[in-house]
Amino acid sequence: MKRLREVMEKNGWEGFLVTQPINVNYVSHYTGADSYLLFTRSKKYFLTDPRYTEQASKECPDYEIFEWRPFGSLGKAVAHLTDQEGLSNLAYEASHLTVSQYRVMEADIRAELVPTEGVIEEFRSVKSPEEIHCLKAACEIASRAFEQILKEIRVGVTEKELAAKLSLFMVMEGADTQPYGNILISGARTSLLHGIPSEKAVEYGDLVLMDYGCQYHGYLSDMTRTVVVGRATSRQREVYALEQKMVQSVEDFLKDGVSAADAYSESTKVIEGTEYFPYHYTGIGHGVGMFVHEVPFMGPKSGDMVRENNVMTVEPGIYIPGWGGIRIEDQGLIRKDGFENLISAPKELIEL
Ligand SMILES: [Mn+2]
């Protein structure tokens, strides 16, 4: 709240409307859905409907609870409040308002509407000790589930069965029950960056790529390991070794104050001049918190800086259509002087 009010003051915003669901939860500690926040320089309104008024009054006792439904639309309710408060302008989250919501607001609100981008997302990128605690726990749960899923991978088991078991293992290890879409793919399908688990059964010689994570008290983990079923071929070994080096060079580079674009360049140095260079993907990592992909983003065009207490993934990969892909993804905490990996699952080539 303190930081938001400072940003409002600095930019001359008299009101700030929060509509992005995770931002609502982050700022207010509300755990429900379909609610919005409106801040003036001195007041805090919680806009919700009768399904959530009781929950909101318990979880957010320092907000004025305001039911928006009697006004017919969020826009009309916000117009009522901005008039009541005499606001001459209202900042809003431009990436998280639908066109129809905007049209209603524009028609009814007399205050000037000021589009903003990434204000609360920027706050969210630097994690507090409590958030780091939850993120560590989510990473530990995912790493423990990895040990268990290895025992289940064998010829004949389908990707879907394995993906379902992975989710079960994480919940049994302490994850929240909210589902999280696991990627668990095998064979040539592993070149699909975000492939969906299918009815395909695991075959001898397959790569099995598992990109997954869980939620712990609302905070997420995101990790990837790729294993070989049976003996690895020489090409599988070669690509795996390059992939390990790419991951390591990025992790060795990361610390407070480096640029996310420079971190990307570290990853490609390893494969420059090899036949594998054309098969890398440029998005090699991202922040993780209450949402799985958040700032900072690592890639050649990123303007983001990496900061102490960011929690982010490192996940360069090599994807060869028709052959397969290999990705190793760690999630770690940015320290003043380095990267602390929170994923304890082994990164050496595993032949099952
Ligand atoms: Mn990821």
- How far, in Å, is the centroid of ligand 1 from the Cα of 139? 12
Q: Which tokens sit at 151?
A: 């025992």
- How far, in Å, is the centroid of ligand 1 from the Cα of 211? 8
> What is the spatial distance between Cα 24 and Cα 291, in angstroms, rounded to a whole number?
13
- How far, in Å, is the centroid of ligand 1 from the Cα of 313? 6
- How far, in Å, is the centroid of ligand 1 from the Cα of 36? 28
- Cα-Cα-Cα-Cα dihedral sign, residues 307, 312, 318, 320: negative
> What is the spatial distance between Cα 169 and Cα 213, in angstroms, rounded to a whole number?
11
Q: Quick one: pLDDT at residue 41?
A: 93
- How far, in Å, is the centroid of ligand 1 from the Cα of 253? 18
Task: Give the residues of the chain that fall short of pLDDT 70.
Answer: none
Share of the chain above pLDDT 90, in %: 93
- How far, in Å, is the centroid of ligand 1 from the Cα of 59? 31
Q: Quick one: pLDDT at residue 105?
A: 87
- How far, in Å, is the centroid of ligand 1 from the Cα of 85? 43
Q: Which residues of 144-178 are buried (b: 16+ CB within 10 A; e: fewer)?
A: bbbeebbeebeeebbbbbbbebbbebbbebebbee
List, for residues 74-131, the tens digit of each pLDDT value. Answer: 999 999 999 999 999 999 999 998 888 888 889 989 999 999 999 999 999 999 999 9
- How far, in Å, is the centroid of ligand 1 from the Cα of 208? 17
pTM tops 0.95: no
- How far, in Å, is the centroid of ligand 1 from the Cα of 167? 17
- How far, in Å, is the centroid of ligand 1 from the Cα of 296? 12
Q: Quick one: pLDDT at residue 208?
A: 98
- How far, in Å, is the centroid of ligand 1 from the Cα of 101? 31
